[in-house]
């Protein structure tokens, strides 16, 4: 697949979509071309603010992203939305409905929406999401919104790929505070209580209880007090305040001060994690693609299923026949 990088760097959305398709391809013949493209793109990455967005089902993430994205565009930004859809464990398909749910944002010339199936990747975040972020940065998008499936490991994966992590909650979040996983709150750089237009009193109660819970929790960013905002994606209330909080966070972490700041240290850690993720991905594909493993696997699985082998014994049996080929 031929990618015109000049068109990509000029913001050609069709070329950007083709580049992402190449990066996400699992075809062996596309792998080298994808790596060459990434090498050309690397000098142009890092200019955006990457915002991870999560929340429980029904919190209104898609409506929020459309409203917030339009606010960012009004302020002069170019917005890319990377929405990870959970792939079906049975068919491998995914809903990929975000473009229809964000029709106004999706049709704007300063926006780009790319729904991507998780492809069965652990945590629900596409295995090449990090590289896709780089491509949209190279195409000139300076606000990147990464929407996760909102379950399990996906929040951690998204937090490890973004600069600012936003947790969206419903007005009844205060009543259900014990049900909110502590780990998710620990990741948040800001909490936004959405749909406050439905019940302002309940939303303010949620703000108070969430603020109280966060007061005794150490933020993942040193010296940052996690704010709890109240607003509504439907009416736009609270969105300008959120934009201000993000700017304050970038200033607090030293985005414009260069290497050595908390902002750039987080980016450096993400690059190292990218390396380890690629190593793990290659090792897994190498292991399961090994002919001797493929030959032995059905019988070993059968023995585990019958109780003849423990999982540990089965693992050792398979590794005994596995020989790591030379890495390329």
Per-residue pLDDT reduced to its tens digit, 72-130: 999 999 999 998 655 434 334 334 445 556 888 988 999 999 886 555 444 445 568 88
CATH architecture of 45-256: 3-Layer(aba) Sandwich (3.40)
Strand partners, 146: 52, 82
CA dist 77 and 211 (Å) reads 30
CA distance 143 to 48: 6
| Per-residue pLDDT at 183 | 64
Question: What sign has the CA pseudo-torsion 5, 11, 13, 19?
Answer: positive
Which residues make Cβ contacts (< 8 Å) with residue 12, sequence separation at least 6?
4, 139
Average pLDDT over residues 21-33: 88
C-alpha to C-alpha distance for 283 and 285, rounded to whole angstroms: 6
| Cα-Cα end-to-end distance for the chain | 21
Q: Locate 23 and state its tokens.
A: 């990066």
Mean of the pLDDT values across residues 283-306?
94
| φ, ψ dihedrals at 66, nearest 5° | -65, -50
**Model confidence pLDDT, tens digit, residues 153-208:** 667 788 888 999 999 988 875 545 544 555 677 789 999 999 999 999 999 998 99
Determine phi and psi for 22, rounding to 5 degrees.
-65, -45
Task: Look at phi and psi of residue 130 and say left if phi exceeds 0, alpha if psi is from -120 to 50, else beta.
Answer: alpha
The rounded radius of gyration (Å) of the Cα atoms in the chain is 22
Q: What is the pTM of this model?
A: 0.85
Looking at residue 163, the DSSP 8-state letter turns out to be S
pLDDT given at position 192: 95
DSSP reduced 3-state for 48? coil
Please report, to the nearest 10 degrees, the dihedral formed by the alpha carbons of residues 286, 291, 297, 299 taken in order. -170
Report in angstroms the alpha-carbon separations of 256 from 167, 196, 221: 25, 34, 16
By CB neighbour count within 10 A (0-12 exposed, 13-18 middle, 19+ buried), where does 230 fall? buried
């Amino acid at each position: 697949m031929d990618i015109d990088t000049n068109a990509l760097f000029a913001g050609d959305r069709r070329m950007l979509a083709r580049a992402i398709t190449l990066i996400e391809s699992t075809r062996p013949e596309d792998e080298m071309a994808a790596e060459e493209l990434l090498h050309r793109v690397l000098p142009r990455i890092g200019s955006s603010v990457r915002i991870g967005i999560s929340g429980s089902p029904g919190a209104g993430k898609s409506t929020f992203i459309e409203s917030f994205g339009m606010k960012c565009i009004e302020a002069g930004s170019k917005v890319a939305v990377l929405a990870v859809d959970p792939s079906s464990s049975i068919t491998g398909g995914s809903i990929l409905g975000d473009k229809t749910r964000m029709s106004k944002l999706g049709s704007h010339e300063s926006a780009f929406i790319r729904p991507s199936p998780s492809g069965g990747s652990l945590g629900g975040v596409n295995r090449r999401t990090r590289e896709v972020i780089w491509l949209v940065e190279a195409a000139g998008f300076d606000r990147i919104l990464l929407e996760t499936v909102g379950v399990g490991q996906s929040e951690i994966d998204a937090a490890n790929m973004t600069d600012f992590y936003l947790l969206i909650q419903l007005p009844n979040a205060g009543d259900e505070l014990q049900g909110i996983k502590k780990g998710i709150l620990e990741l948040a750089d800001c909490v936004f209580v959405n749909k406050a237009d439905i019940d302002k009193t309940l939303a303010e109660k949620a703000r108070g209880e969430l603020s109280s819970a966060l007061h005794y929790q150490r933020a993942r960013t040193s010296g940052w007090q996690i704010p709890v905002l109240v607003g509504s994606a439907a009416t736009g209330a609270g969105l300008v305040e959120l934009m201000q909080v993000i700017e304050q966070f970038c200033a607090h972490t030293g985005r414009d001060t260069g290497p050595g700041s908390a902002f750039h240290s987080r980016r450096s850690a993400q690059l190292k994690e990218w390396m380890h993720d690629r190593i793990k991905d290659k090792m897994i594909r190498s292991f399961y693609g090994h002919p001797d493993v493929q030959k032995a696997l059905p019988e070993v699985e059968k023995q585990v299923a019958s109780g003849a082998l423990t999982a540990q014994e089965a693992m050792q049996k398979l590794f005994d026949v596995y020989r790591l080929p030379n890495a390329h």
